[in-house]
Structure 1
Amino acid sequence: MTDSTQEKPKPILQALQYHQHICEWLEVNEPKVWHWFSDLDTLEKSIENTRNSLLKETYRLTPESHSNVYELCQLAMQRLGIDAPVTIYQANDGAMNAALYYIPGEIHIVLFGALIDKLEKLELLALLGHELAHFLLWSMDEGRYLIAHQVLEDSVAQAPHNNALYETARLFSLHTEIFADRGAVVATQDYRYSIAVLVKVMTGLSSVAPDAFLSQAKELDEKGNISDAKSHPESYLRALFVDKWQSIQTIEMPTDSAVKLTNEGQAIATNAEQLDAWILSKLKGKLSIHSLDLLDQQQLSRDTSGFFRYFLNETEFETEEVKNQLSMYFSDWDVHQDVLNIDTLKERDFDDSILDYFIALIFDLAFADREQSDEILTKGADVAAKLDVLDMYKNKLKSVLKIPKRKADKLCSLAINLQIDAKHKAAQ
């Protein structure tokens, strides 16, 4: 008799940090939508549509007619720790690709183009591992990553001009493909076959050199490029990601001989977290007002509140007029909450649009109470100097507020003098 209280074994693969953070955000901030997509009736309708689509649009392969494909699929499932019935299909589309059609507890993989003929045995194993990893992710943690995916896709369809929703859905999809690429590595126990599949699907070639493409990817990475892909990261990035991931892993495979995918000999959790952070930076680049996701929006809101508190700290600027302006940003404004550390803000990797935003906040305060505009703008120059953007601030005074050059120079000079005085006092 088995112990029903015994914990399930930990999956070979773990969801990336971005997956986890978005699920947490959606559960807290959109509980009704989350619940609706968790509903069994909603899932049943989706399953029925999936079955009909498979019957209409594909040719079903059998274990008897394509035993080699099914045997490779079983091997990949064993290595990924998956146990479920499998059906494999061939689509009528000529472009090489593959897709998982998700049904809980069942695996349905559709092959497109001449994959069976073009891919070598271990390359096909890698491709099947990739698709099986999609099944693994959607099945993990009671389906929460699938729910998040569905919520985001539906939200973007309902509000196509919401940039934050679009960016979140984009990044979530890209991370999902990165997770699936790791499944290809686990299935083959060699990241090079995963890269080979990427190149063959991209080029249509019958023979490729994975190491040569990885070298090409590293050369491109040195130029500082970031992804602008919508659903799948660029192939060169995917090659870099699996290369870096396998280099920090020690994975005990559920096979006769455990295989270690590592250069270091031991998987370190902090390395995995650093890798996830690096991957996110390659997928989105510097923080920009124009490409905030839901998490960025939340963080920028906290930073905005903290920036106001920092700016108003130990001043007499908080008049009724200024409070009214602050209430337009925060209905529950409380000056006694946390103050933003200006050095922390300087360490953030953002572009000029974020600096423009913080300068605009200062201008809003300055013109909320015109009786103290000059004093607030002088304090703004002081803050801009601490952020190393005093020249940008001075230019904004002239171009946005139309302040004459002489006055703009004077306001900035006053700020510099204030900093000099502060340093003298600190030294005494």
Structure 2
Amino acid sequence: MNTLAPFAYHNTLRDHFKQRKKTWEWFQSDTIKEKQITKFKSDLLKNTYRLDKTSHPEVYEIIREIQEILFIDADVTVYQEYNSTQLNAGISIVEKEAHIVLSGNLLKILSPEEVKAVLAHELSHYLFFKIEDGSFEVTQRIIIALANDYRSDDAYIQTARIYQLYLELYCDAGSLLVCKDYKTVISALVKMNTGLSEVNADSYILQAEEIIKKDPEASKNFSHPEAYIRSLALKYSRDKELSPAIEWNSLIKGALDLETLDIFQQKEVQKYTRDILKLIIAPDWMNTSTVQNLCKKYFSDFTRTAKGMSVDELADIIKKAKTSIHDYFSYVLLDFARVDADLEELALGYTLEIAEQLQLQEAYSKIVRKELKLTARAFKTLQEKILQELVKVNENGENGLYQE
């Protein structure tokens, strides 16, 4: 039995869709029609040269080795694409058939071990689709269908993207399991991306580490993580004791960003918003009917009494998030600062205090100045005035941010 396990993200998304029984059952029963299979195979033969086992025994011997290591029972056929110059490889899976199409002069530029790495990567796609009764293949079809539906939220597009990025890392891990040498897999990866016939894996690892130190941003690609991310993942999955302080999850999913939330991050942001609302209405004097109505507009089932995250916990999350999240929460604070005219400037003072505790003071101050059309001097004067009023309220025994 192979030890190649899907990433946690794959399991989480699979379990998420399995809970939607009707959707899951529909996609699970949606098999490829015979006419589609016939057309696919016809188009494949028209646009490729099929490598048979007699003329290319070395290729099929490599495939046999891979199948033994990964416990794959597929009927594998390899093809060479016509008129292709860029090095590439892709796989199409039809039931128990695996059709691998090579592009460019791959078989001549890559060494036999590097060819093995590429073929192992492609066959790991087959493995991923077949393990656990094909549940991950069903999951992929569901999320791709949702991402391609114009009516769907952008979060589904991001979810499909992240699912695919993790899938490529899974397949890279399959290559590593087969080749047992990350340098071979990295060499194959770099050659495929550059077209060079000679590369130095150690040199590229140093380059990749230099990139991460200067720019630890998440992958911006849609289908495959950047080569430097994949290379570092290969090296440090093998040499775990040498692994630097790299947050792999952040390199794929990235920090919380309002523009790139997946369906799970959407729920996280909703939860954090609820918790900030609980901070806002903690003092009795802030809990007016007008403020309560605004809470209900945010969340129809909102309750003041439900326990939320602490200020410190929220501050830690916000600190790691992107500017778009800082701006979003700042506008939430401003909503409540201005909703009830009877509170006058006290609500603004209180939200400024919350912003400071949540490490949002810079973003919130900027937005307050912008929306209230205040100069820096006018804002400072207003801030001093309302904070003095807030101190008086606290001195009178009103509960606030620091009281339960």
TM-score, normalising length: structure 1: 0.83
Counterpart CA distance in 2 for 1:419 and 1:243 is 56
Q: Does 1:410 align with 2:392?
A: no
Task: Verify the 8 A CA contact 1:88 1:109 in the aligned structure 2.
Answer: yes
User: What are the superposed Cα offsets for residues 106-134 of structure 1, whole Å, 9 maximum, x if unpaired?
Assistant: 22211111111111111011111101111
2:351 equivalent to 1:380: yes
Higher mean C-alpha displacement, 347-356 vs 406-415:
406-415
Match of 2:136 in 1: 145
What is the alpha-carbon distance in structure 2 between the residues aligned to residue 63 and residue 239 of structure 1? 32
Counterpart of 1:350 in structure 2 is 321
* More displaced 10-residue stretch of structure 1: 326-335 or 187-196: 326-335
Q: 1:141 to 1:50 in 2, by over 3 A?
A: farther
Distance 2:306 2:36 in 1: 46
Aligned 1:230-309 pairs, distance under 5 A:
230-248=222-240, 278-309=247-278
Change in CA separation of 1:160 and 1:181 when aligned onto 2, cut-off 3 Å = farther
Identity, in percent, stands at 29
Alignment correspondent of 1:228:
220
Corresponding position of 1:397: 368
Aligned position for 1:102: 93
Deviations 1:211-252 (A, max 9, x none): 11111111111112422111111111111111111123xxxx
Are the equivalent residues in 1 in contact too, given 2:330–2:360 (CA < 8 A)? no
Partner in structure 2 of residue 81 of structure 1: 71
287, 295, 299: which one aligns with 1:326: 295
Q: Distance in 2 between matches of 1:408 and 1:402?
A: 14
Q: Is the 8 A contact 1:116 1:124 kept in 2?
A: yes
Number of residue-to-residue matches in the alignment: 390
Distance 1:32 1:246 in 2: 41
| Residue identity opposite 1:195 in structure 2 | I
Equivalent residues of 1:382, 1:415 under 8 A apart: no
Which segment drifts farther, 96-105 or 178-187? 96-105
Whichever residue aligns with residue 323 of structure 1, its letter is Q
- Worse overlay, 59-68 or 313-322: 313-322
Q: 1:210 aligns with which of 187, 194, 201?
A: 201
Question: CA separation in 2, counterparts of 1:413 and 1:390?
Answer: 18
Residue in 1 aligned with 2:110?
Answer: 119
Q: Residues 116 and 195 of structure 1: is their aligned pair in 2 closer, same or farther, counting only changes over 3 Å?
A: same
CA-CA distance at 1:14 after TM superposition: 0.5
- 2:50–2:80 contact (8 Å) kept in structure 1: yes
Q: How far does residue 101 in structure 1 lie from its aligned partner after superposition?
A: 0.4
Letter in 2 for 1:363: L
Amino acid at match of 2:238: Q
Q: Offset at 1:342?
A: 1.5
Please list every run of 5 or more consecutive structure 2 residues that lacks an aligned counterpart in the other structure: none
Amino acid corresponding to residue 280 of structure 2 in structure 1? F
State the distance in 2 between where 1:151 and 1:289 align.
Answer: 23
Q: 1:409 to 1:394 in 2, by over 3 A?
A: farther
- C-alpha change, 1:311 and 1:121, in structure 2 (3 Å) is same
CA contact under 8 A between 1:382 and 1:419: conserved in structure 2? no
Cα deviation, 1:169-197, whole Å, max 9, x if unaligned, reads: 21111111111111111111111111011
Tell me the secondary structure at the aligned position of residue 290 of structure 1.
coil
Is the alpha carbon distance of 1:43 and 1:414 closer, same or farther for their aligned partners in structure 2, counting shifts above 3 Å? Answer: farther
- How has the CA–CA distance of structure 1 residues 324 and 84 changed in structure 2, closer, same or farther, with 3 Å as cutoff? same
**Partner residue of 1:254?**
none
Aligned partner of residue 182 in structure 1, secondary structure:
helix
Q: State the SS of the aligned residue for 2:102.
A: strand
| Distance in 2 separating the partners of 1:416 and 1:51 | 76
| Deviations 1:80-119, CA, capped at 9 Å, x for gaps | 1222221111111221110110223222211111111111
2:176 is the counterpart of 1:164: no
Which one of the candidate residues 358, 367, 372 is aligned to 2:338?
A: 367
Looking at structure 2, the residues matched to 185 and 178 of structure 1 have their Cα atoms a distance apart, in angstroms, of: 10
Cα distance in structure 2, aligned partners of 1:160 and 1:193:
44
Q: 1:45 & 1:278 partners in 2: Cα distance?
A: 46
Root mean square deviation of aligned Cα: 2.7
Contact 1:50 1:101 in 2 (8 A): no
User: Could you report, residue by residue, the CA deviation over 1:21-67 in whole angstroms, capped at 9, with x for unpaired residues?
Assistant: 22223334x54433322124457676555434433332221111111
- List alignment gaps of at least 5 residues for structure 1: 1-8, 249-262, 265-270
CA distance in 2, matches of 1:49, 1:298: 42
Residue of structure 1 equivalent to 2:26: 36
Q: Which of residues 53, 62, 67 in structure 1 aligns to 2:57?
A: 67
Per-residue displacement from partner, 1:292-351 (whole Å, max 9, x unpaired)?
A: 111110111111112212322243423332222122221222222231222111222102
Contact between 1:378 and 1:412, CA under 8 Å: does it hold in 2?
yes
Match of 1:268 in 2: none
Query: 2:334 is matched by which residue type in structure 1?
Result: F
Q: Decide which of 175, 185, 189 is 2:180's aligned counterpart.
A: 189
TM-score (normalised: structure 2): 0.88
Residue 160 of structure 1: how far off its partner (Å): 8.1
For 1:40 and 1:396, the matched residues in 2 are separated by: 50
Q: Secondary structure at the match of 1:38?
A: helix
Is the CA contact (8 Å cut-off) linking 1:58 and 1:91 kept in structure 2? yes
Q: Go from structure 1 to structure 2 and tell me whether the alpha carbon gap of 1:420 and 1:77 turns closer, same or farther (over 3 Å shift).
A: farther
CA distance in 2, matches of 1:52, 1:344: 58
Q: Which moved more, 1:164-173 or 1:311-320?
A: 311-320
